[in-house]
Chain A
Amino acid sequence: MWWYVGKRLLQTIPVFLGATLILFSLLKLRPGDPILNLAGNKPVSQEVRDALAAQYNLDDPLFVQWVLFVKNAITFNFGETFSGQPVFDLIKDTFPVTVVLAVMALAIDAILGIILGTLAGLRRNGAFDTVVLVISLILISVPIFVVGFVAQLTFGVKLQWVPATVGGDWTLSELVLPAIVLAVANFAYTIRLTRTSVAENLTADHVRTARAKGLSNRLVVRNHVLRNSLVPVVTYLGINLGALMAGAIITETIFNIPGVGNTAFLAIQRGETSTVVAIVTFMVMVYVLMSLLVDLLYAVLDPRIRYV
């Protein structure tokens, strides 16, 4: 087990370095003079130019610049925005709401998806299964911005059950609707994955053996069907949480939620490349961390993985 954990930890290092290398290359490949960019595209004197170059190590060899880039990323030293605010502070202000939103969406997704998927899988080809399948197909086919705008219009504007937008001082109840919208797209996949997995496990030989032992149906389903079926589902959900945390750009923009996704979107609109790269670097780190957690969880669920 500890070898497995150690190996997974070691594997995150090349993933992280590779991702930063790509981001760094993109940063270097963007057109235009970086110093002009820094100064807001106004002509600068040679002294200022030299000072800026020294400050941002622009005269060092590319490799050294990359090492500095990685070092800054690890120490959360992401530089400053155009307005002089440290990017890390910006992330610190916006990340919590994104995390809360992502966890809420994931909870809805997991609870409803697994319950509905299991019920559908246990009675495959029944009426319930067919209805769930059709609904999930509809949910998969409708793009998230359509669901988002329709939900906002219906529940926020027309029915006024919830506020239409969230804004700066967010509360948990305001996030419910965006979380549902965010969950909807993934939730259909969770249902389908759980359903297939349950139906497959239900016909497994070891399930028949469990019945032959004299176990009740409830015990067979709980201990031998559900647990086995959840292995792939948990993997999928975990990867999803990484994706959700790395910014639900569309949902955050629709509901005006001051999260990481929204901030990244605004930075893109303003053309603040360095801020965008900093946020993306941070997201990469979150994503790598989440997949590491998923891998560890996977090993907890399936003993065979621990010895690979």
Chain B
Amino acid sequence: MTEQPLLEVKDLKVGFRAGKELLTAVDGASLTIYPGQTIAIVGESGSGKSTLAHAVIGLLPGNGHVTGGEILFEGRDIAAANKSQIMSLRGSSIGLVPQDPMSNLNPLWRVGHQIKEALVANGVATGKAADQRVIELLEEAGLPDAERRARQYPHEFSGGMRQRALIAMGLAARPKLLIADEPTSALDVTVQQQILDHLDTLTETLGVAVMLITHDLGLAAERADHLVVMYRGRIVESGPAAEILQAPEHPYTQRLVAKAPSIASLRLSSVKERAHIREQAEQAASAVADKIAHGTAGLGVGSSDIVVAENLTKIFKLRGARPWESVDFTAVDNVSFTLRRGTTTAIVGESGSGKSTVARMVLDLLPPTSGRVLFDGVDVKSLSGKQQQLELRRQMQPVFQNPYASLDPLYSIYQSIVEPLRTHGVGSKKEQEAKVLDLLDKVSLPTTVMSRYPGELSGGQRQRVAIARALALDPEVVICDEAVSALDVLVQAQILELLNDLQAELGLSYLFITHDLAVVRQIADEVLVMQDGKVVEAASVTQVFDNPAEEYTQRLLGAIPGASIALGS
């Protein structure tokens, strides 16, 4: 190509000082972006992709430094530039659309004012002209009623609207390069799709080059023509998107292509694998059911429908416009489903659809307004006394979304896992210790983690600990509330695999709550699609994926990134 590159990163090294140590976050990265080109940088958390982006716009955190290499923007080296030179590039030449729309707007200033600042600082417009331009920019970013919106504060905006405002801000001074750092990973899938579509059209018409940072290979391949894959601070592979997907060379990329749920969900092989697991799980489960039916331990009669929810409804009273008024909010509206022993039922929906409220009612942590939950034939509400309630808790265990928040940071891993055993008074000290060792083995963690604390473990390891803790009491039902949503794609795939193996081995039944249809195909048998508290579609997983009946389900499916990509195998 004879064209002059817009951005050229040559052998860039970025290090973070931690005490006396220098940790290398980016190690010899090189890439080139031409004017108007969209490239995507793909990698898991900690791969250095965000650090690379921040180095380009000169916004590394205080302890981060460029330790080697060059960043040439239109031929000038940014890495060697002084503060005021970088400042003059920011906004006007290089724009940024940050990751989390919730925390990236100043809560104390009106949205319009924050965009106006960018115009004034870059000398685009001032005063009344700037106010007018702000409205145009917001309209351009796809925000209806822009004039009124500009006068509002960020807390009056939804996540999607805030992200649109941030896009307007990033493009305000018409930069030549826009860095989009995971611009939609905090948003619902359908909103994500709308925003990315809009960003695509906008950057194309303006001729802006885009550097898209994402952890999702499917999304990257769909949005960019050129992919750069980063792994542990190094660029391991780069090239045209289609080529990388068809013939990945580096082992990490190969694993990504093979395992990323958004892509794996397209494969027929994952359906076959699931059917196999289900067969095993149902066998194991019927053995458990036999034991319960003929024994005295535990609640229930050993029936094949282990959890039955009948017409569950939850109405919350919200504060109204005036202090003495209250508004009824129906979070869950007449939801019924059956979870069969040894199978997985997934509840899928966007935020606010009521899926987590259903989970809490099934767990008996929230009383339903009407309707009932039957656990193995026993009405959960009819349980009397602490003994029976403890029994229910023992047979039904939750795994929550955020492995960073759901483990007590002051408890060692051993303490965390052994706590439910102590609470329920299961076994002697020796037996408890043996049980913990067995559990760690089941979730494929080395026994050495026992004495460590959550802070020392990675997200995936923590989620394994959370699963081990849930399994400590030999439950029959595990309720996974967004159990893999906070994890990187490959870790997601590993945890899903682990959950599948455990189900086959122990005959567990899962109620799997998620906003991400992509992960459903690898783990679920039945799917409930929820919208605004109601079940819009309930069917088997194959039917939902191959033949979705409802328009909303079709939209959710269409929003899985990478759905349009043709795959080799």
Contact = CB atoms under 8 A, between A and B. Distances in A.
Interface in B306-351: 321-323
Contact of A209 (B83, B88, B166, B173): B166
B59 A214 contact: no
Interface in A175-195: none
Contact of B108 (A212, A217, A301): A301
B105 A206 contact: yes
Contacts of A211: 59, 90
A204 B122 CA distance: 22
Contacts of A231: 108
Contacts of B61: 203
A216 B88 CA distance: 9
Contacts, number: 88
Contact of B107 (A3, A207, A214, A302): A302
Nearest to B98: A209
B162 to A, nearest CB: 11
Nearest to A124: B62
A158 interface: no
Interface in B77-135: 83, 87-92, 95-96, 98-100, 103-109, 114, 117-118, 121-122
Of residues A206, A213, A228, A307, which shows the largest number of chain B Cβ atoms within 10 Å of its Cβ?
A213
Interface string B154-174: 010000000000100110110
B471 to A, nearest CB: 37
A94 B104 CA distance: 51
Given A3-B323, A213-B169, A224 B106 contact: yes
A41 interface: no
A7 B322 CA distance: 10
B92 A214 contact: yes
A213 B172 contact: yes
A36 interface: no
Nearest to B322: A3
Contact of B103 (A206, A210, A214, A217): A206
B169 A303 contact: no
Interface residues of A, number: 28
Contacts of B122: 213-214
Contacts of B107: 206, 228, 302-304
Contact of A208 (B59, B95, B108, B169): B59
B153 interface: yes
A215 B105 contact: no
B443 interface: no
Interface string A221-233: 0011001100100
Nearest to A203: B61
Interface in A280-308: 301-304, 307
A5 interface: no
A307 B321 CA distance: 10
Query: Is the contact region of chain B dominated by helix, strand, or loop, or is it mixed?
Result: loop
Contact of A223 (B95, B109, B172): B109
Which residue of A215, A227, A301 has the most chain B CB atoms within 10 A of its CB atom?
A215
A213 B121 contact: yes
Nearest to A227: B108
A212 B96 contact: yes
A67 interface: no
Interface string A118-161: 00000000000000000000000000000000000000000000
A31 to B, nearest CB: 43
A215 B98 contact: no
A152 B99 CA distance: 57
A219 B107 CA distance: 17
B117 A223 contact: yes
Contacts of A223: 106, 109, 117
Interface string A258-272: 000000000000000
Given A7-B323, A215-B117, A304-B155, A209 B108 contact: no
Interface in B12-32: none
B7 interface: no
B373 to A, nearest CB: 34
B560 interface: no
Nearest to B156: A307
B103 A216 contact: no
B59 A303 contact: no
A205 interface: yes
Given A203-B61, A303-B107, A212 B172 contact: no
B105 A214 contact: no
B91 A213 contact: yes
Interface of A: 3, 7, 203-217, 219, 223-224, 227-228, 231, 301-304, 307
Interface of B: 57, 59, 61, 83, 87-92, 95-96, 98-100, 103-109, 114, 117-118, 121-122, 153, 155, 166, 169-170, 172-173, 321-323
23 contacts: A3-B323, A205-B98, A206-B104, A206-B107, A208-B59, A209-B96, A210-B114, A212-B57, A212-B90, A212-B170, A213-B117, A214-B92, A214-B118, A214-B121, A214-B122, A214-B173, A215-B117, A216-B87, A223-B117, A224-B106, A228-B106, A302-B108, A303-B108
Given A205-B100, A206-B103, A209-B96, 20 more contacts: A205-B98, A206-B104, A206-B105, A212-B95, A212-B170, A213-B90, A213-B117, A213-B121, A213-B122, A213-B172, A213-B173, A214-B87, A214-B88, A214-B122, A215-B117, A215-B121, A228-B106, A231-B108, A303-B153, A304-B107
